[in-house]
């Protein structure tokens, strides 16, 4: 099972997570929350990245990748633990639509 520990949080492939990231727009900064399924952990040590996929408006899939040690990440919450995922990369979710694309 592929997993990584961030602070006190254990992340596993297939978890539904919420990433709180800092967004700077001009002179203002705010916290933006991105919630979706963790589909990929990649790299080692400082170069480690993770990819989260969510279903956006009109059923369009949106993926976003962050460096794990990024200063822009404020917090990562695990909303729902994986239910026995047996793959290290969940790229097959890209071909699915509807409810089956959000459940692992």
Residue 75 has pLDDT above 70, yes or no: yes
> Taking all residues of the chain, what is their mean pLDDT, rounded to a whole number?
90
**Total of domains in the chain:** 1
Residue 101 belongs to a domain: no
Q: What's residue 92's pLDDT?
A: 92
- Taking residues 26-55, report their average pLDDT: 94
pLDDT grade, residue 3 (50/70/90)?
Answer: confident
CATH number for the domain spanning 26: value is 2.30.30.790
Q: For 57-101, give the DSSP string.
A: GGG-EEEEEEETT-TTEEEEEEEE--S----S--GGGGG--GGGG
Residue 54 belongs to a domain: yes
Residue 59 belongs to a domain: yes
Q: What is the pTM of this model?
A: 0.88
Residue 79 belongs to a domain: yes
Closest CA to 76 of 26, 45, 33: 33
**Which helix (H) or strand (E) element contains residue 28?**
strand 28-42
What is the C-alpha end-to-end distance of the chain, expressed in Å? 15
pLDDT grade, residue 101 (50/70/90)?
Answer: confident
Which residue reads 């990748």 in tokens? Answer: 65
Q: Helix or strand or coil: residue 91?
A: helix
Residue 61, domain extent:
3-95
């Amino acid at each position: 099972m592929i997993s990584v520990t961030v602070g006190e949080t254990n992340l596993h492939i297939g978890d539904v997570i919420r990433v709180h990231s800092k967004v700077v727009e001009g002179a203002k900064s705010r916290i933006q929350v991105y919630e979706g399924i963790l589909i990929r952990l990649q790299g080692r040590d400082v170069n480690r990245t993770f990819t989260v996929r969510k279903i956006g408006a009109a059923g369009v899939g949106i993926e976003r990748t962050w460096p794990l040690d990024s200063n822009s990440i404020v917090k990562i919450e695990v909303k729902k633990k994986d239910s026995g995922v047996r793959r290290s990369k969940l790229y097959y979710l890209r071909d699915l639509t509807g409810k089956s694309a959000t459940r692992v």
